[in-house]
């Protein structure tokens, strides 16, 4: 394990927290004193920077949660992730409000933002807007947001733009984020020495699939920093399998919540530099920080429970393999994105966010998506998702 040595052992941690081993780590959060310990860190690829294994996702009411930012930083969660489009710009403005109040803290944070534009002029416009909102003159890692094919960024113009921005000091590192066709989008980046970091959907369901394992290994070997996201592995269909109860109760007996177990599963791969997680209240922040500081690993039985749960609930999870279903639909419909919006609605209860993303889709696409034939897409879907039914549900719930 390449993690920086923890400053206290698990036994000391439990003593400091004042809890017994069988109590959920969440409970330990109450006893966490600011600056008491640090979160383990890992190298972020070849950048020379070390980042905490837990990072703060910025898709929440950041302006209204300034105290949470302060506590996150004190607890060692110093990698902060946002995007031009998050919360209609309020996410970036919220981080900017914090940096305006605490300018000395800017250099303590590894700050990430993203652009939905692809052409250099558009990226420049969005970068300038981000810098203004964030009240900073540089972004540590700037990502092309949500690509589904490496060709979206593997362009001479994109490379020249990234190199120019780095030379001017406006960004330090460049890369992309991806939820779609993840393994086949990530793998070729290993041949691009100007891609410094990748943020990818990665969780206990997908991390051991051969394609993704190979893609992560190759990019890690090439010195690309890897940020995981979507660790919970929720899908567009709600509901729990029989293993769900076992999952919760089994981990609780050992002192973990379900989320903490899922985080630990991802952290067991040292090639992943950090896991970006949404922590929009102090309870969640403390619970996830406690998990990051805890040294107990999942047992083979624990991993078996997660694997069994993944198998049983496979039919409710969208793996983002958009190239499979979207090629089988006679129309330009981002099926995989719509599944993700339903996942935000069902899995996270983030209906307004899901509606916002749905409405950002092309209007013509939204109009004609329920009139298309998804029969062949459903036959090809490796998870057997009822795509037609879900597309109708998306229009009913999110339009
Ligand atoms: S709907 Fe099925 S084929 Fe399409 S991205 Fe999801 S899992 Fe893959």
Number of H helices, E strands in the chain: 18, 10
Per-residue pLDDT of 370-395, as tens digits, reads 999 999 999 999 999 999 999 999 99
Strand partners, 98: none
pLDDT of 198 over the 90 cut: yes
* Cα 243 from Cα 260, distance rounded (Å): 17
Per-residue pLDDT of 298-310, as tens digits, reads 999 889 989 988 9
Check if 329 has its Cβ closer than 6 Å to any atom of ligand 1: no
How far is ligand 1, taken at its centre, from the CA of residue 339, in Å?
Answer: 8
* Cα 304 from Cα 308, distance rounded (Å): 6
Check if 182 has its Cβ closer than 6 Å to any atom of ligand 1: no
Residue 138 burial (CB count, 10 A): 17
From the alpha carbon of 324, which atom of ligand 1 is closest?
Answer: 3
Atom 3 of ligand 1 has which residue's CA nearest to it?
Answer: 381
Strand partners, 173: 141
The three-class DSSP label of residue 78 is: coil
Atom 6 of ligand 1 has which residue's CA nearest to it?
Answer: 318
Atom 4 of ligand 1 has which residue's CA nearest to it?
Answer: 325
* Cα 127 from Cα 108, distance rounded (Å): 21
Residue 1 burial (CB count, 10 A): 11
pTM: 0.89
What was the pLDDT predicted at 31?
A: 36
The CATH code that applies to domain 10-309 is 3.20.20.100
Residue with tokens 């923890």: 6
Residue 198: C-alpha distances to residues 206, 312, 370 (Å): 16, 30, 33
How far is ligand 1, taken at its centre, from the CA of residue 383, in Å?
Answer: 7
Pairing of strands 54-57, 274-278: parallel
What was the pLDDT predicted at 247?
A: 75
Atom 7 of ligand 1 has which residue's CA nearest to it?
Answer: 318
What ranges do the domains of the chain cover? 10-309, 318-398
* Cα 200 from Cα 215, distance rounded (Å): 11
| Angle between the N-to-C axes of helices 258-267 and 242-254, in degrees from 0 to 180, rounded to the nearest 10 | 80
Is the distance from CB of 372 to CB of 347 less than 8 angstroms?
Answer: no
pLDDT of 24 over the 80 cut: no
pLDDT of 78 over the 80 cut: yes
Is residue 138 part of the annotated active site? The answer reads: no
Is the distance from CB of 190 to CB of 157 less than 8 angstroms?
Answer: no
Among 148, 180, 325, the mutation site with the greatest number of ligand 1 atoms within 8 A of its Cβ is: 325
Q: Residue 33: which pLDDT band, with cuts at 50, 70 and 90? A: very low
Check if 224 has its Cβ closer than 6 Å to any atom of ligand 1: no
Among 181, 310, 316, 339, the mutation site with the greatest number of ligand 1 atoms within 8 A of its Cβ is: 339
How far is ligand 1, taken at its centre, from the CA of residue 319, in Å?
Answer: 6
Instruction: Give φ, ψ of 15 to 5 degrees.
Output: -65, -45
What was the pLDDT predicted at 195?
A: 98
Q: What is the mean pLDDT of the chain?
A: 89
Tokens of 72: 């996150």
Among 387, 389, 394, the mutation site with the greatest number of ligand 1 atoms within 8 A of its Cβ is: 387
Instruction: Give percent of the chain above pLDDT 90.
Output: 77
* Cα 111 from Cα 93, distance rounded (Å): 13
How far is ligand 1, taken at its centre, from the CA of residue 185, in Å?
Answer: 15
């Amino acid at each position: 394990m390449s993690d920086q040595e923890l400053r206290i052992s698990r036994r000391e941690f439990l003593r400091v927290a004042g809890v017994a081993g069988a109590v959920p780590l969440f409970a330990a959060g109450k006893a966490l004193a600011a600056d008491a310990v640090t979160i383990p860190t890992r190298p972020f690829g070849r950048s020379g920077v070390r980042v905490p294994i837990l990072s703060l996702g910025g898709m929440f009411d950041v302006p209204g949660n300034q105290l949470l930012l302060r506590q996150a930083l004190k607890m060692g969660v110093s990698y902060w992730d946002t995007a031009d489009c998050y919360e209609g710009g309020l996410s970036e403005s919220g981080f900017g409000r914090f940096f305006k109040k605490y300018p000395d803290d800017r250099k303590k944070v590894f700050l990430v933002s993203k652009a939905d534009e692809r052409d250099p002029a558009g990226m420049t416009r969005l970068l300038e807007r981000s810098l203004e909102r964030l009240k900073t003159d540089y972004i540590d890692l700037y990502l092309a947001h949500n690509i589904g094919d490496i060709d979206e960024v593997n362009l001479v113009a994109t490379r020249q733009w990234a190199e120019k921005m780095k030379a001017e000091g406006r960004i330090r590192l460049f890369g992309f984020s991806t939820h779609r066709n993840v393994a086949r989008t990530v793998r070729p980046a290993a041949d691009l020495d100007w891609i410094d970091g990748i943020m990818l959907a990665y969780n206990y369901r997908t991390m051991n699939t051969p394609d993704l394992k190979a893609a992560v290994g190759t990019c890690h070997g090439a010195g690309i920093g890897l940020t995981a996201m979507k660790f919970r592995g929720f899908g567009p269909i709600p509901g729990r399998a029989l293993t769900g109860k076992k999952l919760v109760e089994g981990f609780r007996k050992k002192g973990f919540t379900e989320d903490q177990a899922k985080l630990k599963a991802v952290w067991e791969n040292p090639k992943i530099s950090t896991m970006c997680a949404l922590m929009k209240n102090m309870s969640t922040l403390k619970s996830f920080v406690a998990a990051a500081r805890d040294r107990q690993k999942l047992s083979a039985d624990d991993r078996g429970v997660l694997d069994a749960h993944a198998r049983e609930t496979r039919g409710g999870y969208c793996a983002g393999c958009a190239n499979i279903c979207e090629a089988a639909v006679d129309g330009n419909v981002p099926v995989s994105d719509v599944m993700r919006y339903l996942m935000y609605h069902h899995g996270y209860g983030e209906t307004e966010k899901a509606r916002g993303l749905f409405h950002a889709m092309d209007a013509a696409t939204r109009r004609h998506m329920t009139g298309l034939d998804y029969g062949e897409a459903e036959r090809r879907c490796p998870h057997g998702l009822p795509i037609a039914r879900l597309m109708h549900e998306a229009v009913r719930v999110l339009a």
